[in-house]
């Protein structure tokens, strides 16, 4: 009988099978990479803020303590975003007619809040509490990175659940002495292992991986 297919069909058939497999795998792979990449996680992406406010300048150059602005970080779930008042406490004196600080004066005059864009944003069903982490010796920079080096603040961690769990399973690996919590340039010592173990004991740090720790 006459052939229905050319000899090449044989190789084509086999290539098609292989190709299909490769296609499926690569699609999954690419999707995964995108999902974990900055486009989705915003890691390393600094959003534009209403005011060109440089943490680098205020923290590193001027040496202002975190708690001067984020005043409730030690006793509340929320670190607190400074009210315009706080800005004005300095900027009524210095740079009090610079264009950069104009929005502050605007807000102060009109009583209208400055609307910042949220950088570190957890889903609504996640209940995070700053104060307890501070109390147990988790440094600011452990999660937020070296803010003091950031002109525009950006996320250095995904804040995904697996990232949280990673520390909650083994807090010792990330703890620092309470005195160092607000030290932005803190580097983990070589003996972190032993230090961590000791801090865990001293500060009664537990490994909390219950759902209800964060989800209520």
Partner 1 sequence: MNEITVFPILQEQQQQQEESTRQPVDIGALREKLAAGRGPAFWRTLDEAAETPELTEYVEQEFPGLSGQIPEGVDRRSLLKVMAASLAMAGAAACTKQPKELIVPYVRQPENVIPGLPLFYATATTTNGYARGLLVESHLNRPTKVEGNPDHPASLGSTTIYEQASTLSLYDPDRSQTVMKEGRISNISEFTGALSSEAQSIAGRKGEGLAILTGATTSPTLMAQMNAILAQWPAAKWYVHEPGVNPAVKSAANKIAGKNAFIAYDFSKADVVVSLESDFLNSGPAALVYARQFAAKRGIDKGQEPVRLYAIESSPSVSGSLADHHLAVKSSAIPAIAYQLAAKCGVSAPAAGADVPWVAAVAADLQKHKGSSIVIPGEFQPESVHLAAYAINAALGNVGTTVKLLEGVEPEGTHSLEDLANDLNGGHVETLLILAGNPVYAAPATLNFEGAIKKARMVVRLGQYFDETSRWSHWHVPEAHYLETWSDARAFDGTATIMQPLIEPLYAGKSVHEILTILLAKPDNSSHDIVKANWQAGYKGGDFDAMWKTSLHNGTVDGTAAAVIAAGPAVALPALGTSEANFEIVFRPDPTVGDGSWANNGWLQELPKPQTKVTWENTVYVSTRDAEAQKLSEGDVVKITVNGKSVTGPVFVVPGHAAGSATIFLGYGRTNSGHVGTGIGYNAYAIQDGATPYVAVGAMVKTGDKVKLANTQEMQTMADRAPVRAAEWTEFKEHPNFPTAEEPSVPKELTLYPNQWTYEGYKWGMSIDLNICTGCSACAIACQAENNIAVVGKDQVTRGRHMHWIRIDRYYSGNLDTPEIYNQPVPCMHCENAPCEVVCPVAATVHSQEGLNQMVYNRCVGTRYCSNNCPYKVRRFNFYLYSDWQTESMWGMRNPDVSVRSRGVMEKCSYCVQRIQEAKINTEKQGRRIRDGEILTACQQVCPTQAISFGDLNDPNAKVTKQQALQRNYGLLDDLNTRPRTTYLGYVKNSNEALRGQRG
Partner 2 sequence: MSEVKLSEHPEIHGALVEFDTPEDLIEACEKAYSAGFRKMDAYAPMPVDGLAEAIGYKKNKVALCALCGGIFGAIGGFSLLQWITNVAYPHNVGGRPTNSWPAFIPITFECMILCTALVGVFSMLAMNGLPQPYHPVFNVEAFRRASIDKFFLCIESSDPKFEPKETTEFLESLGGRGVEIVPA
Partner 3 sequence: MANQLELEDKIIPDPGEKANIAPGFDYASVTEKITGVVYLPFKKSPKKWLVGIFTAFCFVNLLMFCIWTLFIRGTGIWGINIPIGWGFAIINFVWWIGIGHAGTLISAVLFLLKQDWRTAINRFSEAMTLFAVACAGMYPILHLGRPWLFYWLLPYPNSMWLWPQPRSPLEWDVFAVSTYGTVSIVFWYVGLIPDLATMRDTAPDLWMRKIYGLASLGWRGSAIHWHRYQKIYLILAGIATPLVLSVHTIVSFDFAVSVLPGWHTTIFPPYFVAGAIYSGFAMVLTLIIPLRAWYNMRDVLTLRHIDSACKLMLGTGLIVAYGYGLEAFFAWYSGDKYESFMYWNRVTGPYWWSYVLLIMCNILIPQALWSKKVRHNIIAVWFISIVVNIGMWFERFVIVVTSLHRDFVPSSWGMYTPTKWDWGTYAGTIGFFMMLIFLFVRLLPAISIFEERETLHHEAKHAAHAVQEHA
Residue written as tokens 């032993």?
A: 194
Instruction: Characterize 113-127 residue by residue with b for buried, 16 or more Cβ atoms within 10 angstroms of its Cβ, and e for exposed.
Output: ebeeeebeeeeeeee
The first and second tokens of residue 106, run together, are: 């605007």
Complex with partner 3: residue 111 or 123, whichever CB lies closer: 123
Structure tokens at 169: 């399973």
Among 10, 89, 117, 170, binds partner 1 (CB under 8 A): 117
Minimum distance from CB of 162 to partner 3 (Å)? Answer: 4
Binding residue for partner 3, selected from 49, 71, 106, 158, defined by CB under 8 A: 158
At residue 170, what are phi and psi to the nearest 5 degrees? -140, 70
Residue 168 C-beta: closest distance to partner 2, Å: 11
Q: Answer whether 181's CB lies under 8 Å from 134's CB.
A: yes
Contact present, 50 and 102 (Cβ < 8 Å): no
List 54, 131, 183, 192, residue binding partner 1 (CB under 8 A): 131
- CB 157 → partner 2: shortest distance, Å? 20
- Taking alpha carbons only, the member of 56, 64, 99, 96 closest to residue 82 is 64
Using CB under 8 A, list all residues that contact partner 3. 1, 4-5, 10, 13, 35-36, 158, 160-162, 165
Using CB under 8 A, list all residues that contact partner 1. 31, 34-35, 39-40, 42, 47, 72, 75-85, 107-108, 111-118, 121, 123-125, 127, 129, 131-132, 135-136, 204, 206, 208, 210-213, 215-216
């Amino acid at each position: 009988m006459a052939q229905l297919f050319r000899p090449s069909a044989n190789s084509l058939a086999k290539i098609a099978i292989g190709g299909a497999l490769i296609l499926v795998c690569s699609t999954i792979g690419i999707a995964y990479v995108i999902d974990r990449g900055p486009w989705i996680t915003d890691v390393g992406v600094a959003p534009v803020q209403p005011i060109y406010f440089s943490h680098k300048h205020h923290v590193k150059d001027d040496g202002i303590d975190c708690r001067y602005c984020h005043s409730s970080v030690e006793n509340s779930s929320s670190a607190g975003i400074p009210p315009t008042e706080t800005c004005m406490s300095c900027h009524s004196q210095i740079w009090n007619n610079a264009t950069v600080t104009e929005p502050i004066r605007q807000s102060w005059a009109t009583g209208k809040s400055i609307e910042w864009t949220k950088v570190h944003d957890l889903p609504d069903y996640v209940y995070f509490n700053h104060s307890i982490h501070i109390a147990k010796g988790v440094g600011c920079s452990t999660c937020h990175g070296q803010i003091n080096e950031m002109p525009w603040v950006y996320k250095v961690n995904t804040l995904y659940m697996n990232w949280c769990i990673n520390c909650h399973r083994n807090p010792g690996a990330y703890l620092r002495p309470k005195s160092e919590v607000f030290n932005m340039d803190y580097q983990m010592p070589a003996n972190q292992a032993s230090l961590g173990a000791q801090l865990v004991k001293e500060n009664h740090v537990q490994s909390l991986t219950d759902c209800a720790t964060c989800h209520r």
